[in-house]
Chain A
Amino acid sequence: QVQLQESGPGLVKPSETLSLTCTVSGDSISNYYWSWIRQPPGKGLEWIGYIHYSGSTSYNPSLKSRVTISVDTSKNQFSLNLSSVTAADTAMYYCARHNPVLWWCLDFWGQGTLVTASS
């Protein structure tokens, strides 16, 4: 069974960089594409971007100038950096797997980690 686990600081100061890591177990990270999605409290889902093990990425244009997603195949992990955070970046952050066999749906998700941007 594939499992994803987000980790990282739960509190980030405004103007600083939010950094999260997603650790994948139960499958190789090399077989799929991997996304970050966020959800502000009480609101809907927003896709941040995805990465392939080759390093190929795609980002949401609304966040592209501040987002970097990277992968570490040796650790079966991928990471998110979001720079210059503001209160609007306060959200639950999820990592998830795209399954190309199932028409690129997000078939496995982490439990999420809450990040608050506040001084």
Chain B
Amino acid sequence: EIVLTQSPGTLSLSPGERATLSCRASQTVSSSYLIWYQQKPGQAPRLLIYGASSRATGIPDRFSGSGSGTDFTLTISRLEPEDFAVYYCQQYGRSPRVTFGGGTKVEIK
């Protein structure tokens, strides 16, 4: 079973700052199947990044994804007030077919 470990658990930053979120897999994950979601309180998760680095429709270009193998990163270049939320990485492929990381909360400092 592939385990996805996200770090840090909480990131305290100010608007305008850069956020760097990590997702580390216990085994190699195909870059094609590494995905990032954003979840705000009381809402369903929203697709941000698929294929490790492709932004979903309507996602601003301040969000970017990178990485390969076992190490993946979500970067928010300049935090906007609406970006403070919880972010999850997810892999598709090995059993279980879908696995989520534990999440990183980006909070206002």
Chain A positions within 8 Å of B, measured between CB atoms, are 35, 37, 44-47, 50, 58-62, 94, 96, 98, 102-107, 109-112
Q: Is the CB of A102 within 8 A of B51?
A: yes
Contacts A105-B92, A107-B56; A47 near B99 (Cβ below 8 A): yes
Q: A44-B102, A94-B44, A111-B44 are in contact. Are A106 and B97 (CB under 8 A)?
A: no
Point out the residue from A44, A59, A103 that lies within 8 Å of B35, measured CB to CB: A103
If A103-B32, A103-B92 touch, whether A45 touches B50 (CB-CB below 8 Å) is: no
- The answer to whether B47 touches A47, judged by C-beta atoms less than 8 angstroms apart, is no
Interface residues of B (CB under 8 A from A): 1, 32-33, 35, 37, 43-47, 50-51, 54, 56, 88, 90, 92, 95-103
How far apart sit A46 and B90, CA to CA, in the bound complex (Å)? 10
Bound-state CA distance A46–B47 (Å) is 16
Q: Which of A44, A50, A61, A107 contacts B103 (CB 8 A)?
A: A44
A7 nearest CB across to chain B (Å): 15
18 contacts between A and B (CB under 8 A): A44-B101, A47-B96, A47-B98, A50-B98, A58-B97, A59-B96, A94-B44, A102-B51, A102-B54, A103-B50, A103-B92, A104-B33, A105-B35, A105-B47, A105-B50, A106-B37, A111-B43, A112-B44
- Complex CA distance for A69 and B82, rounded to whole angstroms: 35
Least CB distance, A113 to chain B, in whole angstroms: 11
Task: Please give, as numbers and ranges, the residues of chain B lying within 8 Å of A112 by CB-CB distance.
Answer: 44
CA–CA, A110 to B45, complex, Å?
A: 9
> A102–B47 Cα gap in the complex (Å)?
11
Beta-carbon nearest neighbor of A108 in chain B: B47
B101, closest chain A residue (CB) = A44
A102: chain B residues at CB < 8 Å are 50-51, 54, 56
